[in-house]
């Protein structure tokens, strides 16, 4: 096997090396996506806990609704950040799977 690899033309070895690099980056991208999703779920659970804590101290339905509505902008902002991060991670994964580097994409 090693003898065959040594006899390959230089351009083919370079292409093989670049392909291995893209696969490695794609695996890293998948790991990052997994970490991001775990963090996003953790954020959702934290927010559920916060909403329940706010609901426990509400004295009446009007206060409960007002407090819950006050939390909406924070929720929307967090979801927007998660969506943007997820989109960036998925775009990076697609580029790595297609064998494109950031320099090739910019050109």
Can you give the pLDDT at residue 78?
94
Can you give the pLDDT at residue 53?
93
Per-domain residue ranges of the chain: 12-98
Can you give the pLDDT at residue 102?
54
Can you give the pLDDT at residue 27?
85
Can you give the pLDDT at residue 75?
92
Which residue ranges of the chain lie beneath pLDDT 50?
1-2, 11-12
Can you give the pLDDT at residue 24?
79
Can you give the pLDDT at residue 96?
81
Q: Model's pTM, two decimal places? A: 0.66
Q: How far is Cα of residue 63 from the mean position of the Cα atoms in its chain?
A: 36
CA 95 – CA 79 distance, rounded (Å): 24
Question: 28: helix, coil or strand?
Answer: helix
CA distances from 17 to 8, 12, 67 (A): 12, 8, 56
């Amino acid at each position: 096997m090693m003898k065959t690899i040594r006899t390959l033309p230089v351009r083919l070895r370079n292409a093989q090396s670049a392909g291995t690099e893209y696969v490695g980056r794609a695996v890293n991208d998948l790991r990052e996506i997994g970490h991001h999703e775990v963090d996003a779920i953790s954020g959702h659970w934290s927010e559920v806990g916060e909403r329940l804590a706010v609901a426990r101290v509400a004295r009446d339905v009007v206060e409960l609704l007002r407090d819950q509505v006050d939390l909406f902008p924070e929720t929307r902002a967090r979801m927007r950040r998660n969506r943007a991060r997820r989109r960036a991670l998925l775009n990076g994964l697609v580029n790595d799977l297609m064998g494109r580097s950031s320099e090739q994409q910019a050109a």
